[in-house]
Structure 1
């Protein structure tokens, strides 16, 4: 196996939008602009099944090992049972659905849309039934992540809403924040221990944030530069569109992705310089980079750790940031993760 990992067969034929492992299994879910959600058995390196959603799929999530939900560019929220071959449309938004999250403790699905709303769905109700709740938001949903206790929604206008899952149906956020990063949000992911979240933007930075509003806790938040390099005297900055935490160690990985709209400060240099195809591994608690893997054929569009953090799924996928042109085919790699890549390094004691 190469350093990049084993390439999965029958990859999506258009841009990969999301990757998710199911719990502690080798099952991997991939969604794509080609209108499919695909489930792979990464242990056997085989495609187990494909759901054709009928429109580009912007996100997908497991409910169980055989049931998935999809978020569609057509505004539809769908449920597909691979065992029964049964498809159902839970409902729809007025705009494209960008994100979905399954909330197992509540038995509900939450969808976030470009129509500036969240909707909660109960799959036990008849298809087409009204959502359990509708939540108005201050911006279009760009990224979303759930921990055991909270849901973080990152939106246009650098808005960030934090919801207590116990009160989600009330529609009132627990906290309403503005991103500490200056440019457009690309990705948000809750920390593995549930204490906060990491948020990335097009400016090649990641913010490390905490939920607790205590002054001492908030004093520990910070932002750092990543996915940058100096070439020919120019500082090349690559947007960070993928973040993935691993549960065992609480560290995380980021993937570089080209800027889709130019020119803005987040993408400088020639066309060949607008994507770095690099994964960085980070210890956010101690502000350290642990490891780097470079050489993916094109942009790193999505990342996912398995439950044990022994595998990392990587979507290498061109995102049309330079329009129609020749580009490497979309590919999904699953690489073995060495413990040294994800285990935090002990802080050295200060000299006596």
Structure 2
């Protein structure tokens, strides 16, 4: 029998809400966390301290404003951050040096790195994407105007998915973005790259998270209204007929009416985070304001597992590159309506070591 899965809490978590988590592409133990406390944190999750605390905080990288997203670059020594200071920064995780790649005209909500195309893409509330070549910073970013404010982006091996306000979803071909960027320096005279596809979200409410399938087949989106949708890139009628959406991250609460009879109503929470498993590509995790994490099989359209409830809302999720570990960022959710919000003392990062078949799609188990 496989040994039971284990879960531990990292020492020295951020002092305020977690905005993103990311594992190194070449290490199952180097983990980045970005926070509203204006810092990016780098951990070694498997190196325990002398005091016996789980994990070690290797160093922090201070920013001038809250950091809204972070990702690794081409290897475990390069990272990129996006934040409320409107800037996209490259961070050398060895030296600590930070360089500004571009500056938007509003806070930068998301940043994603495509290892297949060596591109960094940032999405800002100024309703633009910036496409960067990190190996040639002098080139400057390629700016792409968007028809709405972006809230989530994700990259598959060949596509970039951008989810915006008004239920707009644009899908870009990364090869086309790379070709447009390389045609500098006269980019201002060009027509900006057009989306490969334009779609309307299957979800009726604001998109909170997007994750792309490692298989390059499609993507999942989640909303503030306790739903997740799974869609496929292939535009054929057959493939589009396979898309679906489902309710999740809801709790049933009994309510008594004036006549004394009791009925149950759903309390609906935002689904804040999505992450596909890097090995079992149809498996993905969702995390919500109901303080739970669930595993799903996208192909079989079924829930595989729900983990024990955490103390606060799940804000971020990340799988390690080998699929053995799942990092979970937990902090009070803004949906609680607290006027004087603070995640200090309640912000935590948990790392779960998955059992051998824990994330294996049901149809592939023994």
TM-score (norm 1): 0.89
The answer for the alignment partner of 2:95 in structure 1 is 84
Q: CA RMSD in A?
A: 1.9
Establish whether residue 7 from structure 1 lines up as the match of residue 9 from structure 2. yes
Q: Note the 1:185-224 alignment, pairs <5 A.
A: 185-224=207-246
Determine which of 236, 239, 247 is the counterpart of 2:278: 247
The answer for the alignment partner of 2:38 in structure 1 is 35
Instruction: Give distance in 1, aligned partners of 2:6 and 2:107.
Output: 33
Moved more, 81-90 or 195-204: 81-90
- CA distance change for structure 1 residues 224 and 320 in 2, over 3 Å: closer, same or farther? closer
The answer for the alignment partner of 2:134 in structure 1 is 123
TM-score (norm 2): 0.85
Instruction: Give distance in 2, aligned partners of 1:121 and 1:212.
Output: 27
Instruction: Give distance in 1, aligned partners of 2:160 and 2:327.
Output: 23
C-alpha contact 2:151 2:164 (8 A) present in aligned 1: yes
Q: Deviation per CA, 1:91-145, whole angstroms, max 9, x where unpaired? A: 200010001111223333111000100011233445xx56331101111110110
The answer for the alignment partner of 1:268 in structure 2 is none
Determine which of 182, 193, 196 is the counterpart of 2:204: 182
The answer for the alignment partner of 1:53 in structure 2 is 63
C-alpha contact 2:16 2:342 (8 A) present in aligned 1: no
The answer for the alignment partner of 1:143 in structure 2 is 152
- CA distance change for structure 1 residues 248 and 130 in 2, over 3 Å: closer, same or farther? closer
Instruction: Give distance in 2, aligned partners of 1:3 and 1:235.
Output: 31
Moved more, 173-182 or 3-12: 3-12
Name structure 2 gaps, 5 residues minimum: 48-54, 181-191, 255-263
Determine which of 265, 279, 288 is the counterpart of 1:256: 288
3-state SS in 2 of match to 1:255 = strand
Q: Deviation per CA, 1:153-196, whole angstroms, max 9, x where unpaired? A: 11111111000001123521000111011111000100121100
Q: Note the 1:138-177 alignment, pairs <5 A.
A: 138-168=147-177, 169=180, 170-177=192-199
Q: Note the 1:228-307 alignment, pairs <5 A.
A: 228-232=250-254, 233-250=264-281, 251-257=283-289, 276-307=290-321
Q: Deviation per CA, 1:276-318, whole angstroms, max 9, x where unpaired? A: 2111110010011111112211000000111222111000011
Determine which of 95, 100, 105 is the counterpart of 2:106: 95
Instruction: Give distance in 2, aligned partners of 1:160 and 1:229.
Output: 29
Aligned residues: 327
Name structure 1 gaps, 5 residues minimum: 258-275
C-alpha contact 1:40 1:46 (8 A) present in aligned 2: yes
C-alpha contact 1:40 1:49 (8 A) present in aligned 2: yes
C-alpha contact 2:25 2:72 (8 A) present in aligned 1: no
